[in-house]
Amino acid sequence: MREIIIFRHGETDWNREERFQGHIDVPLNDTGREQAAQLIPRLRSIGIDAILSSTLSRAMETAEIIARDLSVPIFRDGDLREAHLGEAQGLTRTEIEKRFGLLARQWRSWNVSDADVFYPGGETGGQVSARAFSAIERFLDLNPFQRVGIATHGGVIRRMMQKVLPLGSEPVPIPNGILYRLEFNPNSRAWNARKL
């Protein structure tokens, strides 16, 4: 069994404004840097061996703050970037709900039947989880690390947790700086969620 400790990047100014970033590269703000630093004691006690990060700067900076303190290597993979939100990128939550209505509610839904919903020009939740799981499995297949931290984004974590948790599970909260523990069995290729 390999352990994955997946965590969301610290806050950005756009998070504070409830402006959807998607693939737009927005840096951490001071609160976000503090949130990244607050993850260090928990990740130290868990004992991660390495960090695999999204290539977007908000995730990379979160990973760098943690890795510097824990003296672990950082690896990058663009497949861990946030969902591409197409025409919704750069808009606030209010603007998105006004412009896209039902589509906005379906995109944010915890219902797995909404995994194929996408904003015009964007990708589906199913595409997001598929590329994220693929990136992590590819990394684990090529590296010996037993316990890996994953620095990524709220949409990626939400879509991954939807796949790993049993059907009918309650939605999990995904604020900036949250972390969850997953297990991956390299023989069966099965994923499971574990309590921290």
Kind of pairing between the strands at 190-194 and 179-185 = antiparallel
Is 196 strand, coil or helix? Answer: coil
Catalytic residues: 9, 82
Return phi, psi of residue 106, to 5°. -65, -40
Q: Which of 114, 111, 159 is nearest to 132 (CA)?
A: 159
**pLDDT one-digit tens code per residue, 158-168:** 999 999 998 88
Q: Which domains does the chain have, with CATH numbers?
A: 2-18+27-84+123-194 (3.40.50.1240)
Q: What is the pLDDT of residues 50-72, one digit of tens each?
A: 999 999 999 999 999 999 999 99
- What pLDDT, on a 0 to 100 scale, did the predictor assign at position 32? 98
Question: Does residue 177 surpass a pLDDT of 80?
Answer: yes
pLDDT tens, position by position, 14-48: 999 999 999 999 999 999 999 999 999 999 999 99
Sheet containing 147-152, strands listed edge to edge, beginning at the edge strand earlier in sequence: 74-76, 50-53, 147-152, 2-8, 179-185, 190-194
C-alpha–C-alpha distance, residues 184 and 166, integer Å: 16
How many other CB atoms are there within 10 angstroms of residue 93's CB atom?
14
Q: Average per-residue pLDDT in the chain?
A: 96
Q: What is the pLDDT of residues 94-151, one digit of tens each?
A: 999 999 999 999 988 888 777 889 999 999 999 999 999 999 999 999 999 999 999 9
At residue 195, does pLDDT exceed 80? no
Distance separating alpha carbons of residues 195 and 193, to the nearest angstrom: 7
Q: Which two tokens stand for residue 183?
A: 């297990």
* CA–CA gap between residue 20 and residue 18 (Å, rounded): 6
DSSP 169-196: PPPPP--TT-EEEEEEETTTTEEEEE--
Spatial distance between the Cα atoms of 100 and 90, rounded to a whole number of angstroms: 14
What the block records as the tokens of 191 is 């994923």
Distance in angstroms (rounded) separating the CA atoms of residues 4 and 51? 10
CA distance 28 to 10: 6
Q: What is the mean pLDDT of residues 180-190?
A: 97
Rg (Cα) of the chain, in Å, rounded?
A: 16
**In the predicted structure, residue 5 carries a pLDDT above the cut 90:** yes
Q: 8 pLDDT band (50/70/90 cuts)?
A: very high
CA nearest neighbour of 159 among 195, 193, 127, 194? 127
